[in-house]
Chains A and B, each alone.
Chain A
Amino acid sequence: MADSEETGSQQDSTADSAGNNESRRGFVSILAAGIGALLGLFPVATGVFTFLNPLLGKRKGGDKSIRVATLDSIPATGVPVRVPIVADLVDAWNREPNQPVGAIYLRRASDGSGVDKVVALNAICPHAGCSVGFDENRDVFQCPCHTSSFQLDGEIIHPSPSPRGMDPLTVDEDKLKATGEVWVEFVNYYPGKAERTAKE
């Protein structure tokens, strides 16, 4: 009797544990899988924000107007000159003053009214980001990488692979008239597109 009881209880317990075991096993499995997934995610989660840091960065404050040249240093003949943009270069942990951070072309143009006008163009080719050169024999801008060429005012000369002409930059006319100095708002744009999108 005790045996049967025992057996019975054993059976019961087996049946019970079998029923309990199944649900417990199911629960344990879920728990194990869940913890495993969390553990697997843990190293990834630790690093994901740092990895995505470039996308999460704060925007740089407004466009900087930079003094790039004096009017006298730009030839009156209308030949473009290549001028480096010198500014504070912030590169992750370095801040270095007076470093070349880009280049532009400056050219004297007259708008017919006798006022000295200066045209500024970003020297980066809007096709794929190479540095545009100036061919003084043919009087055109010529990119050495994929042979895009541009007129003196930056307009594209077809056939050229570039989706748009060279990017013009704003010259401060008032300062130019007042002091004879050329101040330019230096901006870089994303290459490869027909429309101009500034890089933040």
Chain B
Amino acid sequence: MKKLIDWVDDRTGIRKVIHEALYENIPSGARLRYVTGSMLVFAFATQMITGIVLWMAYSPSSQTAWESVYYIQYEMAGGWFLRGVHHFMAQAMVVLLGMHLLQVIVDKAYRGPREVNFWLGLILMQLVLGLALTGYLLPWDQKGYWATNVATNLMALVPFGLGEKLQQLVIGGTDYNHHTLTRFFGMHAGVLPLLLIVFLGLHIAVFRRHGITAKITPGRADQYFFPYQVLLDGIGCLVLVIIVVALVMRSHGAELGAPADPSKPYGAARPEWYFLFLFQFLKLFHGSWEIVGAIIIPGAVVTFMFFMPFIGNMKRGHAFNVAFILVLLAGASVLTVLALQEDSKDAVFQRDKHEAHENAERIVELVQRRELTETGELSERLMIPRQGAVYLLRNDPLTEGPKLFKSHCASCHSYVDPDGKDELQFALYQEPVVENPTVENAADKVVQRDGSGNVEYQPAGSTGSNLYGFASREWIRGLLDPEKIDYQKIAEPEQSKDKLLASKSEHPSNHRKRIIAPYFGNTAHRNGRMAEWVKNHMTRDLGYEENTSKNLSQQEIEDQKKSKAKAESNLDAIVAALSAQAQLPSQQHLDEAEVTKIAEGVQVIKTTCATYCHQFGDAGQTGLGPDLTGYGSYEWMMGMLCNPSHERFYRRENDRMPAFAEDPHNPKEHMVSIRELSLIVDWMRGQYYDKDESIPRLPHSEEEGRQTAMASIPTGERPASQVIGGPDPPESQIKKENAEQLFTRNCSACHSHADENGVGIVASHPKAPNLFQFGSRSWLTGFLDPERIKRVHYFGNTAHLTSGEMVGVVDEFKDLDDEQQKTLNNVIIAVSAQAQLPSQKTEDDAARADNSLAMANEAFGKTIDSYACSDCHLFPGYEDGDSGPNLTGWGSRDWLEQMISDPTHYYESNDKMPKFRIDESTGRKSLLSENELELLISLIRGELE
């Protein structure tokens, strides 16, 4: 063995080197106070080795930095431990730096002949701090990104134009970009460690040249470095290892914040604790003095330290130096404590810190999300897409939904859990008038009181519905509750939640009154047809009409009870079926369990809701009310948010809700991007990843959102114009198509407009007269025919068939003699002439010319069988009629305008025909605009052929 060592020693001279290294003489023996230097070397070696292993797993680019660190932390064997040691050892190095500096100064090891070594040490200190600063950015998380952002901004303070250039060099541009990370990494893993090794080598070499500055105690024997000092150094390093490992185990590695997102404000940005004193220090320097606090004073302190060896040579100089370093360390500690205290008392900071923590946890959840495969099993973890982890967080409905709702919806809609359990809420208030709105300090605002001392309030303003649990069974049940649908209440004033403001009793934020209007209560719809139906007709339509007469028989009472129960069960079924259309993830089990009830409800909806106003699948017609098909589903909601005024939804009756993406094909015009609309919808519907759900739900992608929006609200482009290269359709054809569309939307739920062969617009379930050639003699002839009046073409499917008097009157026309028939024919001519139809102009003019019209007018007052028309109807020259519609100008433009705008004008017992034009000064809009009404009338009068 010895021969082998001899051979190696002969070749390398190793024995001498080892002897030199180990057998350095330490006067007065080994001491604990000498260990800090070796501990620093040990710490640095640890950092180098752990750093190199980390380097093999780390990828410095903005799409991959956070991601690779995530992988180290959560997926690689022992990665968390490796990272943890690297992180906490760095912190330990900073502490050790302070200790070593203190020991060197106190023990006078900085004075001649050791000045140069001291300077080398100061340089090493700067290098280590530089390593700490550059390392903090590398995980590219929010914390590191924003904190380093501040530090690099301070760089720009260096005067003479150098600051900006320096900053641009350091971050590789004017703003943070790819090169910021690559440059910082180049510094952290290349330049700084290299310089550190070089200077460390010089530091140790120069140290050995002069030997240790020993603290001499007489009588204490000299010792060699090995083994006694090595032992002490070893113990010191062991303590260091134990502390570091304990810290690593306690936090299971180092912290990793949410991925850096330059677009997300980060209120919790703080530098690492050992720089907190600088952070606190900076707050003292306002405005242009900032450069003093950021650069001049720290620079002066470090420069002063370079002069310490010379000061130490002067009388009392050493004492001064010791005092200086102690004051420095004490000051830094005080500032650090102050910074921590201020932060702990700052409610906004604590809230931001909490949010940062939540986001950090959420992104890990999202990265580890799974989906359900076709076989019904959980897939592998879906991990991170190429756009990086920040893309996952930006597109997470749980994270983004509330913020987007707040920005775009919460100014009108509330979002409040009626049970009060959910803390997240957006409520709306009636605000007090502020006496001094322009006062400089907003905390000094006070409310304005009137003469009697009562607080004055601004008008409450309209508010939309409470969207908490939209389309859930509870929500729909509330909508169909006569008490709730138009409920509106202003609550008592609430106190502010901000502690500072709550103490100021006159501050406006303590006098806000919550507006409670869960559905239509605070909108124009409160007086609309739906509210009217729910309050006045719903129960009857569901099958129960209360019989208030006294003395009911037992059977009648029983029947009453049964029909009431049936009506309630029908309502239950509607609620279940309508809510099931939304396919809310939270109701999935309920929907599966109530399959029968839902099927029943579907039928009830078709026969109750889809008869006159709503479309529901293949039943009913869109136009007079929102489409109930897919109500509350992702597709329905996307369409609704894109354009609530679309014919599929509320059309002209939409009460001020903006169209956020009116034309899905034209993203540049959107108020809110489709991606964001999709996030809001997914959030409201609970369609986001929740790791506790057994069936994982994933939100919709941006592309799915776009496709859905486009399909949900078709642009209504005319088929003719979709053909390339064909002729442009003439104006008249376009006009006719528009008119037919209007008729289809507004009228065809009940009316048809088709000839005897069924050519035209045919209502699928006609409940009102066919308006084809309305006003013409042929139409009237059919109407006044006892057989045909009862057919679907006229009153067949209406209430007028059984109640009302006209059908009974016409029935009498069964057996007319020639005289009576002639009278009838004249009536037809007279009444039809009132319409002044262009298609009848020739006949009408002829009748006027040969005076047969005058005769016909007389026929109006002649009795046919038992009645004359003028007995009931008003007509030019006849003023006694009082029970039928006024036939003056019957079928003319004006008459039709009046009829369509307000049928009750003519028909007191109007059978469910809506008023298409109302007084819009109340804020409610009409179903039809003036132009639309004109066009429709032109169609009915046959003016568009």
Picked from B411, B431, B440, the residue with its CB within 8 Å of the CB of A151 is B440
Tell me if B269 and A130 are in contact (CB < 8 A).
yes
| Interface size counted on chain A using CB atoms at 8 A | 63
Q: Which residues of A contact B (CB under 8 A)?
A: 51-55, 57, 67, 69-70, 72-73, 75, 77, 81-82, 84, 86, 91-94, 98-103, 123, 127-133, 135, 137-140, 142, 144-147, 151, 157-164, 188, 190-194, 197, 199-200
| Interface size counted on chain B using CB atoms at 8 A | 61
Q: Which residues of B contact A192 (CB under 8 A)?
A: 153-154, 156-157, 290-291, 294
Tell me if A139 and B178 are in contact (CB < 8 A).
no
Tell me if A55 and B288 are in contact (CB < 8 A).
no
CA distance A194 to B658 in the complex (A): 41
B282 at the interface (CB under 8 A from A): yes
Q: With contacts A137-B496, A190-B164 known, is A199 near B174, CB below 8 A?
A: yes
Tell me if B174 and A188 are in contact (CB < 8 A).
yes
Picked from A52, A91, A188, the residue with its CB within 8 Å of the CB of B169 is A52
A159 to chain B, nearest CB (A): 6
B498 at the interface (CB under 8 A from A): yes
B670 closest partner in A (C-beta): A70
B586 to chain A, nearest CB (A): 30
Which residues in window 167-207 of B have CB below 8 A to A?
A: 168-169, 171-175, 177-179
CA distance A77 to B412 in the complex (A): 13
Q: With contacts A146-B282, A190-B156, A199-B174 known, is A54 near B169, CB below 8 A?
A: yes
B171 closest partner in A (C-beta): A54
Q: With contacts A103-B263, A144-B267 known, is A200 near B290, CB below 8 A?
A: no
Tell me if A147 and B178 are in contact (CB < 8 A).
no
Tell me if A55 and B262 are in contact (CB < 8 A).
no
B352 at the interface (CB under 8 A from A): yes
B146 closest partner in A (C-beta): A130
B417 to chain A, nearest CB (A): 21
B695 at the interface (CB under 8 A from A): no
Picked from A81, A91, A140, A158, the residue with its CB within 8 Å of the CB of B407 is A81
Q: With contacts A75-B411, A131-B265 known, is A161 near B290, CB below 8 A?
A: yes
Q: Which residues of A contact B673 (CB under 8 A)?
A: 86, 98
Q: Which residues of B contact A157 (CB under 8 A)?
A: 440-441
Complex A-B: 5 CB contacts under 8 Å: A102-B262, A102-B263, A138-B501, A139-B442, A192-B290
B150 at the interface (CB under 8 A from A): yes
B3 at the interface (CB under 8 A from A): no
Q: Which residues of A contact B262 (CB under 8 A)?
A: 100-102
Tell me if B169 and A55 are in contact (CB < 8 A).
yes
B149 at the interface (CB under 8 A from A): yes
Q: Which residues of B contact A161 (CB under 8 A)?
A: 282-287, 290
A181 to chain B, nearest CB (A): 9
Tell me if A103 and B265 are in contact (CB < 8 A).
yes
A75 to chain B, nearest CB (A): 6
B368 to chain A, nearest CB (A): 26
Tell me if B149 and A54 are in contact (CB < 8 A).
no
CA distance A73 to B412 in the complex (A): 11
Q: Which residues of B contact A (CB under 8 A)?
A: 62, 146, 149-150, 152-154, 156-157, 164-165, 168-169, 171-175, 177-179, 262-269, 279, 282-288, 290-291, 294, 348-349, 352, 407-408, 411, 431, 440-443, 445, 496, 498, 501, 509, 658, 668, 671-673
B165 to chain A, nearest CB (A): 6
Q: With contacts A72-B658, A144-B267 known, is A138 near B169, CB below 8 A?
A: no
Tell me if B269 and A57 are in contact (CB < 8 A).
no
A154 to chain B, nearest CB (A): 14
Q: With contacts A73-B658, A188-B175 known, is A163 near B150, CB below 8 A?
A: no
Among A55, A151, A161, the most chain B Cβ lie within 10 Å of the Cβ of A161
Q: Which residues of A contact B177 (CB under 8 A)?
A: 91-92
A131 closest partner in B (C-beta): B265
Q: Which residues of B contact A130 (CB under 8 A)?
A: 146, 149-150, 265-266, 269
Q: Which residues of A contact B352 (CB under 8 A)?
A: 144
Tell me if A128 and B153 are in contact (CB < 8 A).
yes
Q: Which residues of B contact A70 (CB under 8 A)?
A: 671
A96 closest partner in B (C-beta): B387
CA distance A193 to B267 in the complex (A): 22
A51 closest partner in B (C-beta): B169
A98 closest partner in B (C-beta): B673
CA distance A123 to B497 in the complex (A): 26
B676 closest partner in A (C-beta): A84
CA distance A100 to B501 in the complex (A): 35
CA distance A164 to B286 in the complex (A): 10
Tell me if A163 and B287 are in contact (CB < 8 A).
yes
B142 to chain A, nearest CB (A): 11
Among B62, B153, B165, B179, the most chain A Cβ lie within 10 Å of the Cβ of B153
| Given A52-B169, A86-B673, 17 other A-B residues pairs in contact with their CB atoms under 8 A | A51-B169, A70-B671, A73-B658, A91-B178, A98-B673, A100-B263, A130-B150, A131-B146, A131-B264, A147-B283, A157-B440, A161-B283, A161-B284, A161-B285, A161-B287, A190-B153, A192-B294
A197 to chain B, nearest CB (A): 8
CA distance A55 to B171 in the complex (A): 11
A27 to chain B, nearest CB (A): 33
CA distance A158 to B286 in the complex (A): 9
Q: With contacts A54-B172, A140-B442, A200-B174 known, is A145 near B150, CB below 8 A?
A: yes
A102 to chain B, nearest CB (A): 7
Tell me if A163 and B288 are in contact (CB < 8 A).
yes
Q: Which residues of B contact A84 (CB under 8 A)?
A: 263
B41 to chain A, nearest CB (A): 29
Tell me if A145 and B269 are in contact (CB < 8 A).
yes
Enumerate the 4 nearest inter-chain pairs by beta-carbon distance, A residue then B residue, closest first.
A100-B263, A131-B265, A144-B267, A139-B442
Tell me if A135 and B348 are in contact (CB < 8 A).
yes
Q: Which residues of B contact A55 (CB under 8 A)?
A: 165, 168-169
CA distance A94 to B64 in the complex (A): 14
A79 closest partner in B (C-beta): B411
Tell me if A73 and B671 are in contact (CB < 8 A).
yes
CA distance A81 to B408 in the complex (A): 10
A64 to chain B, nearest CB (A): 14
Tell me if B658 and A191 are in contact (CB < 8 A).
no
Q: Which residues of B contact A81 (CB under 8 A)?
A: 407
CA distance A2 to B156 in the complex (A): 81
Tell me if B287 and A57 are in contact (CB < 8 A).
no
A106 to chain B, nearest CB (A): 11
Q: Which residues of A contact B349 (CB under 8 A)?
A: 144
Q: Which residues of B contact A123 (CB under 8 A)?
A: 265
CA distance A57 to B177 in the complex (A): 14
Among A75, A157, A191, the most chain B Cβ lie within 10 Å of the Cβ of A191
A140 to chain B, nearest CB (A): 5
CA distance A86 to B349 in the complex (A): 27
A131 to chain B, nearest CB (A): 3
Q: Which residues of A contact B62 (CB under 8 A)?
A: 91
Tell me if A128 and B154 are in contact (CB < 8 A).
yes
Tell me if A137 and B509 are in contact (CB < 8 A).
yes
Tell me if B168 and A54 are in contact (CB < 8 A).
yes
CA distance A161 to B283 in the complex (A): 6
A144 closest partner in B (C-beta): B267
Q: Which residues of A contact B668 (CB under 8 A)?
A: 67
Tell me if A163 and B290 are in contact (CB < 8 A).
yes
Tell me if B442 and A138 are in contact (CB < 8 A).
yes
B508 closest partner in A (C-beta): A139
Q: With contacts A73-B658, A127-B290, A161-B286 known, is A144 near B268, CB below 8 A?
A: yes
A115 to chain B, nearest CB (A): 19
CA distance A57 to B283 in the complex (A): 34
Q: Which residues of A contact B268 (CB under 8 A)?
A: 144
A194 closest partner in B (C-beta): B288
CA distance A194 to B285 in the complex (A): 13
Tell me if A129 and B173 are in contact (CB < 8 A).
no
B883 to chain A, nearest CB (A): 50
CA distance A74 to B717 in the complex (A): 32
Q: Which residues of A contact B283 (CB under 8 A)?
A: 146-147, 161
Tell me if B169 and A144 are in contact (CB < 8 A).
no
B182 to chain A, nearest CB (A): 9
A133 to chain B, nearest CB (A): 6
